[in-house]
Amino acid sequence: MNEQISAEDLNEENHLMIGGVDTLTLVKQYQTPLYVYDTGAIRTTINAFKAVFEANHVDYQISYASKAFATIAMYQLIAQEQIHCDVVSGGELYTAQQADFPMGNVSFHGNNKSVAELTMALEAGVGNIVIDNFYELDQLSQLAAARQQRVTVMLRIAPGIEAHTHDYISTGQEDSKFGFDLNSGQADEAVKQAQAAEYLDLVGIHCHIGSQIFELNGFEMIVDKLIGVFARWQTELDFYPQIMNVGGGFGVKYTAADQPLQPTEFVDAIVKETIAQTKAYNLPMPAIWIEPGRSLVATAGTTLYTLGASKDIPGIRKYLAVDGGMGDNIRPALYEAKYEAVLAKDPTLPSDQVVTIAGKYCESGDMLIKDQQLPATEPGDVLAVLDTGAYGYSMASNYNRNPRPAVVFCEDGCSQLVVQRESYADLTRLDQPLTLPTTTKA
């Protein structure tokens, strides 16, 4: 049996359960493709993060990076757990507002926030805006001054530390579009400008070195570098941040080949290193903020598909096609991301074939899983692709005019539809019929 499934995930008929709900019942009720979240698992991870900070007796905040999975119900769940969130667009901010998320607990990120988005954030009264570059520093100072509204800000810095991850999701290196570069002195200049801006209250420093990181040492390096810089800033610039936000990026287990640390181990290392470094420099402890996205939602999510056509090319490969694919999960095509799947009707059946799980989109690259071991299957069987909770729904598209799937939350044996399945009518809702005068000659 897949090592990610345990006996507790199965009912007496050996059907895969999520949050105490039979996945085959979910499929009958909500159809496929279907994103299913075990929301109890999300709460458990949040509490595990909190426990690490509390065991170390430090001031902290957990800010959910909502780009990983953002819906009204998700912001409400995060609010119930009393943690913060970050948004990176007017659209995420709007969704959080629709969820009545406490705006004071929102950080606003982004490397090219528009004036409209900054204005929206000021009107909403977000907790802080994370300034990414000099253009934004200038724009926000002017907007805040024009509105005579004080605004709490942090500065995002690019610390010049490379995380070992996919190039597309690595962000901390010097050659990055994000943040004020530390090594060339841009970050120092940004601190000076923020201090001088009448309506900006600079409270913290933010950095994020990348995503799906498996090693502690990048985070320890970041803490060492930041505390060293803070020590210098305290002397040279009379600035010492109240908040040190080290971002997210904690790696999760997608397949048997992944051997990540527990997300909490990253946090424990970050906290312990901060305590050690501040002691060494004889500095006060800043509040430590983390911004986990993937590690809160990836393994809590599963996508259920129905198997349809198959194609067996003797001696080459057998393809099994599902009723979804790159439109609901672009990660395999975009990052060569790996997943594992099980048959929902009985994940304990012994595997007797190796198949490639193909999507239904008109593109050869639309593959979900290469070389998946499975028992014999029939069309109509439900395939559960595991650990799809991060950056699946949030990066979904309507490619080939396929409607996006529904999202269901499950907890303690109950299920709730939190995003409806798109209809064909939704697909054409914004389309307008052609009215330009025709130039075609009869």
List residues with catalytic annotation: 362
* Residue 247 in the binding site for ligand LLP (CB under 6 A): yes
Nearer to ligand LLP, 253 or 294 (CB): 294
Nearer to ligand LLP, 84 or 208 (CB): 208
Interface pick for ligand LLP out of 19, 127, 286, 292 (rule CB under 6 A): 292
> How far apart are the C-alpha atoms of 219 and 223, rounded to whole Å?
6
SS3 state of residue 270: helix
* Residue 291 in the binding site for ligand LLP (CB under 6 A): yes
Interface pick for ligand LLP out of 208, 345, 360, 404 (rule CB under 6 A): 208
* Residue 33 in the binding site for ligand LLP (CB under 6 A): no
Contacts of 362 (CB under 8 A, 6+ apart): 400
Nearer to ligand LLP, 70 or 383 (CB): 70
154 and 204 Cβ atoms separated by less than 8 Å:
yes
* Residue 225 in the binding site for ligand LLP (CB under 6 A): no
Nearer to ligand LLP, 347 or 392 (CB): 392
Cis status of the peptide bond prior to 33, with omega within 30 of 0:
yes
Nearer to ligand LLP, 292 or 359 (CB): 292
Instruction: Write out the binding residues for ligand LLP, residues 35-74 only, by CB under 6 A.
Output: 65, 68
Supply angle C-alpha 51, 53, 55, rounded to 5: 65
* Residue 110 in the binding site for ligand LLP (CB under 6 A): no
Rounded to 5 degrees, φ, ψ at 355 are -130, 165
Closest by CA position to 77, among listed 262, 297, 394, 299: 297
31 — alpha (psi -120 to 50), left (phi > 0) or beta? left
Nearest distance, CB of residue 169 and ligand LLP, angstroms: 4
| Tokens representing residue 377 in the block | 């299957």
Side chain identity at residue 139, one-letter code: Q
Nearer to ligand LLP, 16 or 222 (CB): 222
31 and 406 Cβ atoms separated by less than 8 Å:
yes
- Torsion 369-370-376-377 (CA) sign: positive
Using the contact rule CB under 6 A, the part of the chain among 228-236, 291-299, 378-386, 414-422 near ligand LLP is: 291-299
Using the contact rule CB under 6 A, the part of the chain among 146-154, 286-294, 344-352, 368-376 near ligand LLP is: 286-294
Tell me, by CB under 6 A, how many residues bind ligand LLP: 21
CA-based diameter of the chain, in Å?
85
Beta bridge partners of 10: 16
Nearest distance, CB of residue 389 and ligand LLP, angstroms: 11
Binding site for ligand LLP (CB under 6 A): 65, 68, 109, 169, 171, 208, 211-212, 247-250, 291-295, 331, 335, 390-391
